[in-house]
């Protein structure tokens, strides 16, 4: 088993803290605490959401359509290598249009030296 460097340990701790917030449904709090100002968030192959303020505004818009949150379950991870972390999760929620959603996702996160997310990509199934 590989021993993590001090920077990798910091990233692992921050990744775990983010996941702890997501599991509680505290998406905006996680974004506020851990996104870098110049972050890029990429949903599958869509164009990136650029900037912390913009990303939070778009998340608020999305969350305004959620009528019930049924959980965010981390299946694996986080795993860390260099300035990158990975994890798998399943998120379930209902929206105003009466739809129930289940997103299975693998997430790749790139961190800066200050322990903030500079890029995150979500791969959905």
Query: Which CATH number is 32's domain given?
Result: 3.10.450.50
pLDDT in the model for residue 1: 66
- Positions in the chain whose pLDDT score sits under 70: 1
Q: Cα(30)–Cα(76) distance, rounded to whole angstroms?
A: 19
Q: Is residue 114 part of a domain?
A: yes
pLDDT in the model for residue 93: 97
Q: Which residues does 118 contact at the CB level (< 8 Å), separation at least 6? A: 36, 38, 39, 40, 110, 111, 112
pLDDT tens for 82-104 read 999 999 999 999 999 999 999 99
Q: Is residue 37 part of a domain?
A: yes
pLDDT in the model for residue 125: 80
Which one, of 80, 78, 73, lies nearest residue 22 by Cα? 73
Q: Is residue 1 part of a domain?
A: no
Number of domains in the chain: 1
Q: What is the DSSP letter of 36?
A: E
pLDDT in the model for residue 64: 97
């Amino acid at each position: 088993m590989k021993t993590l460097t001090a920077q990798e340990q910091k990233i692992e701790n921050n990744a775990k803290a983010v996941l702890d917030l997501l599991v509680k449904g505290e998406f905006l709090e996680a974004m506020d605490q851990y996104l870098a100002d110049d972050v890029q968030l990429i949903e599958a192959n869509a164009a990136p959401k650029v900037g912390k303020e913009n990303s939070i505004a778009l998340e608020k818009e999305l969350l305004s359509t959620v009528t019930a949150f049924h959980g965010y379950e981390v299946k694996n991870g986080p795993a860390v290598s260099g300035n990158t972390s990975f994890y798998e999760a399943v998120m379930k929620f209902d929206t105003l249009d009466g739809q129930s959603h289940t997103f299975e996702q693998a997430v790749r996160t790139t961190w800066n030296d200050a322990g903030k997310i500079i890029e995150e990509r979500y791969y959905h199934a």
